[in-house]
Each structure stands twice: as structure tokens, then as C-alpha cells.
Chain A
Amino acid sequence: MFKTRSFVTLSCLLITALMLAACPAPAADSGNGEGMEEGPIQIGAIFDLTGPTSDVGQLYSGGIKGYVDFVNATGGIDGRMVELLSADYAYAVDQAEQLYSQYVNENEVLVFSGWGTGDTEALRGRIGDDEIPFVSASYSAALQDPAEAPYNFLIGTTYSDQFILAIDRAAAEGASVVALFHNDSPFGTSPLEDGRDHAGELGIDVINFPMPRGATDYTAELSQAAEQGATHVVVQNVSSPAATLAKNVDNLGLDMTIMCLNWCTNELLLELSGEAGDGIIGVNPFTFPSSGVAGLDEIAGHLESEGTMTLDEAGGLYIAGWTTMKVLLQGVRDVSAAGDELTGANVRAALENLSGYDTGGITDPITFTGEDHAGNKTVQFFEASGGVWSPVSERVGVEN
């Protein structure tokens, strides 16, 4: 069968098809490049829907898509619809580059929404060359300096600031040693140095323990931390390892307060850790549905009109995605309102002029400047109990 003419021909055709393969089918039906004046405003986004961070990636992507749908349902931006071109890249950086190149070259997107540290770093040079304002869910402190990353804008509080605020809270509770349990990667160690410096000023020791990938037990590290006098454990990791850690703390009966930075402060952590999750303090740059701030009303309204889920089911990550896209598109709105041409450079200038932008309490008012692209420097502390995150503080910020 494999030697017949038809099989050989079919194989040749398959090879040829692959060679001609990467025809970038436009991710939506309308054609490309109809001219910025009449056509919809195109924005690009990549999500991790099937890869290693897909558990949080899917929820975040819902928020991004939800906001774009909301904008279109309420008349678009000055009458022009917003077209979101998006795809899943499963955290493969090569595919992120391909998708970015496709959306920028074949489709002419105006702004871009990335996802993780890998693709944000890889695209950093390109977005400067192509002048595409970029937001993502990687809150590394290196991205806030326009000299290093001119087109990146941070809407989530940086990991360093989050850690500093967590240390402040621990200090207020009388801690003298704080342990940072972190993912064994640059993402994990990102807040360490800044946190250590700040803690040093307060007279607090910071000890750190990497959480190796695939580890199922952190008893040894926790025992070491306890021996060294740690009373507070800050977790810079995603929900699954954090849940394991919480269970270990519970089993060992250690008297430690667990504080989760933003990537384990979500509903997923509570699902995974069950009863051991009670008492965990979550550091959230955005907010949870339980805070009841005014900005959540429009999200709840949109979800109701869609009828797919309630605000509580959507959760904190949906809110994060929604707010991120909202701030990014505000830059586009400002350019359109001023009557200027919609280019990446103009949107960047508009974002850098954004001062005190009100998100209805989801974050503190967002301010970007030409020297600082970290728009949000505050967090709100939540405590987990009975499977729900409830606020335990007002929004606090880093004093500069």
C-alpha cells in the first residue's frame, strides 16, 4: 500500500502543503489593511490556553476578550469597532514570535497583549522597533524602566513591589525573619533582591528557598525555614505548588503565616488546598469580586448580558485581564479623542500622559510617566477563609 502511486503522490502533496503552509489565515473574517480611517481597530493578543500556565491563562484571556466585547457592545472607540486577533501559543516562545510577526506584518495591529515572562522578554526588542505598545501578565520590575523597555507598560504591580508590601505587612505583625519560597526560575527570583534590600532597612532577614519543578513535598525546606526563625512565608509561584506548600504547613502544624503573591492569589489556590488554605493572606494588585468596588459593576453587567458566568465564577484573573485591556485601550481612546493618527508611537505618548486614571477601585488610579511605566504601585490584601477571598485591608502602596 505504501508503494502505490497514490500514496507517494499524497506524500509529495503533503510535503508541498507543509512548505506552503504558513499562510497566515486572518484570525477574523474581515480583511486586513482597509485603512485606519474606516476599518476596525486591530489589536493583537497571545494567550496560553493549553500550555504549562494555561490554568490561569484561560481565565485571564476571558477577561481580555470580555473587555473587547464590552467595548464593541457599547459603541466601540469613537464609533470604530475593536477587532481582537488572538491565538494560543502554549508558552512556546517561537510561536509567540511567529504570531507577533504575523499580526504586525500581515494584519497591522496597533497594540499588543502578551502573557508570560518568556514571550514578553523575547518580544521586548521587536516592539521597540515596530513601535507597538505592549502589556502583559509578566510583572517583572525590569519592565518598568522606559530606558530598558520603552514600549512595555505594567498594569499589575511589580513582583518586587508586591514582595516589599508583603514584608511591610509581616514587619507590622512583628516578624524578624521572612522566608521567600519561589519558583525555580527567573520569574521566581525576580523580587528577591529588591525585597532583601528593603527588609534590610527594616532589620528583617530574608531567606529564600527555591521550589524545584515537580516537587511534591516541601517539608524539608519548611523545617529549615522554621529552624531559622521564619514566621512568615511569602510564596512567589503559581497555585499548584503553593497549595502543596499550604498543605505541608498544615500537616507540620507550623505557626507560620503564608502570604501569596499575585500568581497564587486566586480561586484556584483555594480549590486545590481546601481547608489548608484558610488563613492564607493574598497579595492582589487588582481585586476580587468580594471587595464590591464600583468598578466591578460594569464587569458584572457585561457577564450578565453574556449569560456565560457570574462575576464570582469569573474571579480575580478575569478582573485582571479586563482591567489590563481597559487601561491599554484608554491610551487608544485618548489618541482618537485628540484627533491624532492612530499609531503605536502616539498611543505610547498618550499612555505616558495618563495620570490618575480611575479604574473604579479595582486598582489605585493608574499613572504612567515618561520615566516610569509601572502604572499600578498598590495592592490589596485578602484573606482566605472557607474557600473565599475576603479583603482585610485597604489598598496599600509603596512609599517612594
Chain B
Amino acid sequence: MNSGVFHTTYKSDLALRPVPIMRWRLIFVLLLALLLPFMVSNYYLTLANQIGIMAIGAIGLNILTGYTGQISLGQGGFMAIGAYTSGILAAWYGVPWYLTIPIACVATALFGGIFGIPSLRLKGLYLAIATLAAQQIIEWVIIRSSARGAEAIPLPGIKFFGTSISKLKFDFITGRLGGREFWYYWIVLFFLILVVLFTVNLFRSKTGRAFIAIRDQDIAAEVMGVNVFQYKILSFATSSFIVGLAGALQAQYRGIVSFESFTIDVSILYLAAIIIGGLGSVSGAIYGAIFMTLLPALLRSVGSSLGGVIPGIDQYIAFMQQGVFGLVVILFLVFEPEGIAKMWRNAKDYFRLWPFSY
């Protein structure tokens, strides 16, 4: 029996999954993700798609806030840039959807870099206000962009080889599959895996280490030779690239781009998601996205079951849901401020070390 896991090469030491059980867990999760659309109904696929898009956005924000320590309230605005770029290209210029997405990412990265310039002089709360300005500027531009007040722009949906995905259905062992949610799931999953691989490898590289150094102690990083300003801008640009991807995917998913989905509330929701999930880890961003998407659904389902049991509580359920949502977020921050990722690590350690406690 092994007394531990020992590495004999640098390569195996730096591996993403150094321990066999971690590899098995990863394979299990991947299998689950691949089999999901064949097992569940469209409602769960809607949830899965929303989680996927939010996870991509959260990973983007995590690069900026969790790994580089730059607080950003401009998430909604950057997603709007991605969404509107993709939407306008598809709707007004007839660009095919798979081309609009990379272009939207690049455009958002550009604007992200520009809005990151204040980070040269500002840190912490002051930078948060500067990014809030970015959010407001972007909102303002959207509203004023046409006399009709930037009406929603409907997109020509996604087509696979000429057929709209909502009409592409086929019969399978588990029933009639296909349709918008089903095909879109694969698109989101593909991009999510790409983004996860990219981000995880980013933080094994020199650039990633520079980001982390800036977060931990930027003066020491500067002294060591990290060009802090350059890497901050790079962090804004990289983060915005991924956030723009999330925005473009959301626009294509909904089939319409409208102003309401990109307000300051979205920025705050994403910040809450990565804080609850765990700052500074990719899996934390994913857990946060899952939590924020599923919690309202759980509260609704608990609320309607309660409504059946306790008569007269109907009027209050909606208000209770709001209250409980806030309470859960606060409880999380009080009892486990490092988020769900830390809770998961604690759980794993507990079972690994039992009956010892450390």
C-alpha cells in the first residue's frame, strides 16, 4: 500500500490532476456532462445552459478579481459589449453566428483593456468606482444609440448546416431529442471546456504567476521585475475576452439582444457568484454559477410546496424567497468566506484524513 503520492519529474508534479482519484472524479464529471442532455428534459437543459454561460462569465471575472485582485463592477457592461457586437454583426450584417463570437470576444477584450487603464493609479474601492463608471458609460451608449431607444435586436437564430437548431430534432432511445436547448448545450459545453482549460493553464504559466503576484503584493511584484501596469491591462483584456464570450453566447442563446440583461444588477450578481463560489479558483467560479442559478429555482420549488401545506402563506412566499436568498448569501459569507470551493476542499480532506483531523 502506498504511503503517499510521490513525483519524480517536474512534469508530473505540475500535472493538473496529480493524484489518481482526482482523475477519476474528473472523468466522472465529464461523463455526467456528456450524458446529461440524453437523460433530462428541456427544463433542466435550460438551467444547464444558463449555468454554463454564467460559469464562463464567472471564470472571466475570477481572472480579474480572484487572481489579479482588481475589483470590477463592469461585468454587465462588458457582457453587453460582447452581446451587442455578436448581435449586431449577426442581425444587421448577416455574419454567421460562429464568426460573430470570436469577433465579439476580441472587441470586448479591446474595450476591457481601455477601461482597465485607471488601474494604473487606482486600487481597491477606487478602482471599483472606476469600473462602475465603465458600466454606466456602456449602458448610456446603448440607450442613446438610436431614437427608438435601442430596441431589442432579434437575431437570426443559430443554424447548423442551414437548419435552425430549434427545428433539428431526432428520435433516440430516450425519446425525442433535439431542439434549441439540446443543441445549444453542446455549444456552451464546448466553450466552457475551452475556457476552463485555458484558465487553468494560464495560472501555470508566467503570466498567471504575475497576476497572482500582483494580487498578493503588487509593490513586491514591481520590485521583483513584474511590469505591474502591463500585466494589469493584460488581466483586464483577458478577463474581458472571456466575459465577452459569455455575453455573445447569451445573446445567441436568447436569440435577441436587449438592454435589460446587462444592468448593474448583473455585475453584482456575478461578484456574488464568485465570492460564494470561491475567489481565485476556476472550480469556485463554476460552483458559484451553479449556486446562483439553482438557488432561486430551489426556493421557488420549496415555496410552492410550502404553499400547499400551510394555507394562506401564498402571499408571503415571494417575499420570503427574497429574504431567504439574502440570508443564504450572508450565512455563506459568515461561515465559509472562502466559498464553496473551500467547503469542498474541507470535505475532501475530511474523508482523506479520517480518523485524523489534519
A residues neighboring B (CB under 8 Å): 2-3, 5, 8, 11-12, 15, 17-19, 21-27, 29, 49-50, 87-88, 90, 92-95, 97-99, 101-102, 104-106, 116-118, 121-122, 124-126, 129, 140, 142, 148, 184-190, 192-193, 196
Contact = CB atoms under 8 A, between A and B. Distances in A.
Interface string B152-166: 101101000000001
Given A18-B294, A23-B301, A8 B350 contact: yes
B26 interface: no
Contact of B180 (A126, A142, A192): A126
B126 interface: no
A129 B50 contact: no
B294 A185 contact: no
B18 interface: no
Interface stretch (B8-16, B221-229, B257-265): B257-265
Contacts of A196: 147
B175 interface: no
B331 to A, nearest CB: 10
Name the residue among B256, B295, B297, B317 with the largest chain A CB count within 10 angstroms: B297
B46 interface: yes
Interface string B136-174: 000000010001111110110100000000110000000
A105 B167 CA distance: 16
Interface string B84-124: 00000000000000000000000000000000000000000
Contacts of B344: 15
Nearest to A93: B261
B149 A15 contact: no
A116 B155 CA distance: 20
Interface string B45-66: 0110010000000000000000
B322 A186 contact: no
A12 B147 CA distance: 53
A15 B277 CA distance: 12
A115 B293 CA distance: 21
24 contacts: A3-B357, A8-B347, A8-B350, A17-B298, A18-B295, A22-B44, A22-B301, A23-B301, A25-B300, A50-B321, A87-B304, A88-B317, A93-B261, A95-B296, A121-B260, A124-B152, A124-B154, A125-B155, A184-B143, A186-B148, A186-B152, A189-B143, A189-B147, A190-B148
A189 B256 contact: no
Name the residue among B41, B300, B343, B347 with the largest chain A CB count within 10 angstroms: B300
B261 A122 contact: yes
Given A102-B43, A189-B148, A22 B294 contact: yes
Interface residues of B, number: 56
A99 B50 CA distance: 13
A101 B181 contact: yes
Interface in B275-313: 290-291, 293-298, 300-302, 304-305, 308
B254 A25 contact: no
Contacts of A24: 43, 297, 301
Contact of A50 (B290, B294, B305, B319): B319
A88 to B, nearest CB: 4
B-side binding surface: helix, strand, loop or mixed?
A: helix
B255 A25 contact: no
A186 B261 CA distance: 12
Contact of B256 (A122, A190, A192): A122
Given A11-B347, A21-B295, A190 B340 contact: no
A93 B260 contact: yes
A25 B301 contact: yes
Interface of B: 41-44, 46-47, 50, 143, 147-152, 154-155, 157, 166-167, 179-181, 254-256, 258-261, 290-291, 293-298, 300-302, 304-305, 308, 317-319, 321-322, 335, 340, 343-344, 346-347, 350, 357
A339 to B, nearest CB: 27
Given A18-B290, A124-B256, A142-B152, A98 B147 contact: no
A88 B321 contact: yes
A223 B1 CA distance: 85
Nearest to B300: A87
B304 A27 contact: yes
B149 A190 contact: yes
Contacts of A187: 149
A129 B255 CA distance: 11
B42 to A, nearest CB: 4
A138 B24 CA distance: 51
Contacts of A99: 300
A24 B258 CA distance: 27
Nearest to A8: B350
A8 B335 CA distance: 12
A246 to B, nearest CB: 23
Given A95-B296, A129-B167, 12 more contacts: A15-B340, A18-B291, A90-B322, A101-B42, A102-B43, A105-B43, A117-B258, A118-B260, A121-B260, A186-B151, A189-B148, A192-B147
